[in-house]
Structure formats: C-alpha cells, structure tokens
Amino acid sequence: MSKDEPLVLELIDLLGYENVIIDDISLKVYECDGAEFFKALPDVVVFPDSAEEISKIVKLANTYNKPYIARGAGTGLSGGTLPINAGIMIAMNKMDRILEVDLENRQAVIEPGVVNLMLTQAVQDKGYHYAPDPSSQQACSIGGNIAENSGGPHTLKYGVTTNHILGMEVVLPNGEIIEFGGPIEEDLGYDLRGLMIGSEGTLGIVTKAIVRLTRNPQAYYTMLGVFETIDNATNAVSNIIADGIVPAALEMMDNFVIRAVEAAFSWGLPTDAGAVLIVELDGVEVGMSDEADQIIRILEDHHTREVRTAKDDEDRKKLWTARKHAFGALGLLAPNYITQDGTVPRSQLPKMLQFVGEVSKKYDIPIANVFHAGDGNLHPIVLFDKRDSDQVERVHMVNKEILQACVDVGGTISGEHGIGVEKQEFMPLIFSEEDMDFMVTIRNIFNPKQLCNPKKIFPIDETIGVTP
C-alpha cells in the first residue's frame, strides 16, 4: 500500500506517523505468528492507544471495505494472526497498562496488551497471581489468551482463561464499544463474555479485561518422575487421574525434549530417560507430603527409575523455566516445526502416545512430545524442513492421522492453541455441517461483513496457499 492512499492518510491523521507502518521491510515482522510456516503480509500495521482509536480504525476499515485483524504478541501457534487478504493489522502493544488492581475482590482491570507474566509479577509480592500460565507467558498477551482461551500447566487444577475472565470491553465489528460481563460473577442475559473467549478474534477486538487474581498457595510440592519409557509415564498419568488425584500440574516431556531442554538449560534432567513427568501439588502445607507419597507410590507402580523433589523455590522455578522453554529449545533441532494440540480422554493417553510414535516411524518424520498430560492435551511437535516438498506432504499426513486418532478416541483437535488457519480443514473431523453452520450464524451476527479477522476457524473453499 502506498503512503498516499486515502486509507493510509486517514490512519496517519488519526494515529500519527509513528503509529502507522507501511514500508515492506517493517511489515515483514508481522507476516506470521508462532506458526511461522504460514505467512501473509498486512497492508498496514497500526498501533492504537485506546478503545476509541480502535473504534475509529474499525469504522475506517468498514468505509474502505478492508479486512482488519488484532495482533497481541504474535505467539499464537495456529496462524490466528495471519492477515489473510492483507488489510489493517491492529497491534495491541501500546495498550499494555494494568489499570486497576483490586486485591480485596481478587480482580484486576487491564488492557489487552498486558503480557501474561507481567500481570502475575505486578501482584506476586502481595501474594497473588494470574492463574492461566501458558508456556509462552513471558511474551503472550492477555488479549491473545482471551482470543485463544489459552491454558497452561496449571490449568489442570485452576482452569483455562474462560474461568478467569469476569468481563471485558470490546470494539464490535461495527465500531461500537461495548462491555460484556463486569466486576461481578454473573452478568444479566446471555454470557457474551463467555462467547467472546476462544473466538480467536473473529467477533471483535478486546480492549479491556477484568481478570480474576488467584491467591498464591501456601506451599508447593514439586516432583520429577523419571521413566525408561513413554509408555510407563503415560500409564502413570492415567493411573493418577483414575485414582482421583488432581495435582496442580502434571506435565510430560519425552527423551527428545529432555535432551533439547537439558542442552539449553542444564537443570540436571536425565538425558537417557525415555520420559519424565513433572508432578506438582499446591495448597495447604499440612498433609501435602501424604498426598505426595500417594503419587510417588503410583509412579513406582509404573516403574519410575527415580523421583526427584525440587529442593527449594529456586529449584522449582528453574524446573518450570526449563519446561516452559521446551518449544524454544526444540526450535534449534529443525528448520520448521508444527505443534499439534489434540486432547484425548486421560485414560487414552498411553494408546495415543504409542500411536504418535508409530506415525512418526511410518512417515519418517521426527516428533517430540512435551505436553499437559494431566489434561490429556497432547503437543506432538512435528519437526521438518519446509524446503523439502516431500517432507511437507508427509507432515500433512502425520497431522491428519494424529488428529483423526484423537477424535476417534473421543477427543478433540485443539486443546488450547485454536484452529486459526492451521486446522480449519480438520474442523469437519469433529463438527457436522449443522454445527459449523450454527457457529457461522453466530459469527455473522457480530461480524456480518467478514472484515474482522476473515477466513479463520471454518473450512474455506478458496485456497489460501499456505496449508501444508
């Protein structure tokens, strides 16, 4: 887009030169998110500072009939921020203020560009935190979390984003600024706040959120169970859940990941192990070691080689840092990767992980596994080189077979990363025509002209030239 196009001039007029990017080199930064396999350039990137400015941008988009899309931190893993058909990208970076912290009511009012971890850091000295903790929490924005309904390791006990958002301010696709929910638990009428969460930015742009804050637990008990095989580890997970124990977190890493993480962070993970489980309990200190003993017994029943315990808080934090940076560490192993995100009933984990191993062999595509085992939320990380078209073809088959298998055992195709563009073709695996028509009906009520983040989530006929 050139500098003197009327839309650009109006955007500059509204936001100032410094808040409008149109040169190709700078735009490159915004051509993809964490699913870097998919690329598309926006026409223009803008940096508004208020809901009012966003409302005006949205109205301009309507006037010029241009698509537009919000961008948080760009860590999404399903191509959610991909500006298909170009258009205006609305970057939320400047709207990163924590507007109000209300500890008495355990809530905070924030702008959507606030980075997940920053929110926790702002309240941790007072003994609180924001519970949903995606592994990307050092970078990802709460706006992005709301759009994707993100989870994290501690989702097992504390729930996902939707369980922690009380209300929000939204700029609707007609430019109207509106509030859903509020600083209370139950608003009147339909739960439009609930509908917005997980709608992947296709129903409007969130400009403010009222989030719950969670009291820090009195104590943690963090264990690392070391296993010779993935099979033993996943059986232990199923057994823990079946025994009626719901820890605060229950995460698995396979040998691939252990080695990558250890090379990067040297926590002291056993690089010859088939898999490790991180099991964390939290809550009241008295009685906690009894519950830990119960878990250790189950790990032993499944032939754990050893169980290590985090020595102190620093040790615990180091272990979590290692776990949360696992994706990053893996990035070094192959030029490209796609992270699958299917969820299965927890009793099906051993079977599913065996299947993932078989598929990897069958197509000769390496797959690493680091995932939220307690929730049954898999993350097979499929490693490849996109310059090799044969590999790309095989990766596509791998994705398809794994997602189909998740669905076949009663699961779903995405536990937390969203559909975006990456999985839209797989939606029919779980949803009927009627189901999807219904969702499209709802979308069209909010977003009738399809300018707000178009061509996402639902299968589309037009090829967008990016699907592997």
Partner 1 sequence: MQNTNFSKIDGVIPKEVTIPSSVSEIQSFLRHVTKEKLSVIPAGSGSKLSIGNPPPQIDFLLTMKKFNKVVEYIPDDLTITVGSGMLLKDVQKILADNNQLLPTNPPYNNEATVGGIVATNSSGPHRLRYGATRDLILGLRVVQTNGTIIKAGGKVVKNVAGYDINKLYIASYGTLGIITEVSFKLFPKPAVERTMLLNFNQHGHALRTSTEIVKSQLLPVFVSFFSAGIPDTEVLEPCLLIGIDGHPKTVAWQIDQINSIANLNGVVQKEVYQDHKQSQLRSSLCAFPEGNGSNSAVVSRINIKPSNVGNFISSVLDLTSPFSTYVMSHIGNGIVYLILSDFTEEQIGLLANTLTVLRKQAVNIQGNLILEIAPLGLKNLMDVWGEVGQKSQLMTQIKSELDPANVLNPGRFVAGI
Ligand X SMILES: Cc1cc2nc3c(=O)[nH]c(=O)nc-3n(C[C@H](O)[C@H](O)[C@H](O)COP(=O)(O)OP(=O)(O)OC[C@H]3O[C@@H](n4cnc5c(N)ncnc54)[C@H](O)[C@@H]3O)c2cc1C
Contact positions toward ligand X, by CB under 6 A? 33-34, 69-77, 80-81, 92, 112, 134-136, 140-141, 143-145, 147-148, 150-152, 200-201, 205-206, 327-328, 416-417, 453
For the CB of residue 103, give the shortest distance to partner 1 in the complex, in Å: 8
Residue recorded with tokens 């560490």: 329
**Amino acid, res. 192:** L
Q: What number of residues does the chain have?
A: 468
**Shortest distance (Å) from residue 97 CB to ligand X:** 13
With respect to partner 1, which residue has the nearer C-beta, 297 or 361? 297
Using CB distances below 5 to 8 A depending on partner kind, what does residue 463 bind out of ligand X, partner 1, none?
none
Question: Which helix H or strand E contains 438, and what residues bound it?
Answer: helix 433-446
* Closer to ligand X by Cβ: residue 229 or 450: 450
Helix (H, G, I), strand (E, B) or coil at 296: helix
Residue numbers 391-420 binding partner 1 by CB under 8 A: 410-419
Minimal distance in Å, beta carbon 44 to ligand X? Answer: 16
Q: Which of 81, 155, 222, 340 binds partner 1 (CB under 8 A)?
A: 155
Least separation in angstroms between CB 142 and ligand X: 8
Asked whether 291 and 279 are in contact (CB, 8 A), the reply is no
Provide the terminal-to-terminal Cα distance of the chain, rounded to the nearest Å.
28
Residues 82-111 that bind partner 1 (CB under 8 A): 102-107
Cα→Cα distances 281→135, 237, 245, Å: 18, 14, 10
Q: Strand 98-102 and strand 177-181: pairing?
A: unpaired
Nearest residue to 248 (alpha-carbon basis) of 205, 276, 214, 273? 214
Q: How far is the CB of 34 from ligand X (least distance, A)?
A: 4
Contact between 435 and partner 1 (CB under 8 A)?
A: yes
Binder of residue 136, out of partner 1, ligand X, none (CB less than 5 to 8 A by kind): ligand X
AA letter at 299: L
Q: How far is the CB of 104 from partner 1 (least distance, A)?
A: 4
Site string for partner 1, 332-371 (x = CB under 8 A): -----------xxxxx------------------------
Check if the beta carbon of residue 261 is closer than 8 Å to that of residue 323: yes
What is the DSSP track for 218-267?
A: SEEEEEEEEESSHHHHHHHHHHHHHTT---SEEEEEEHHHHHHHHHHH--
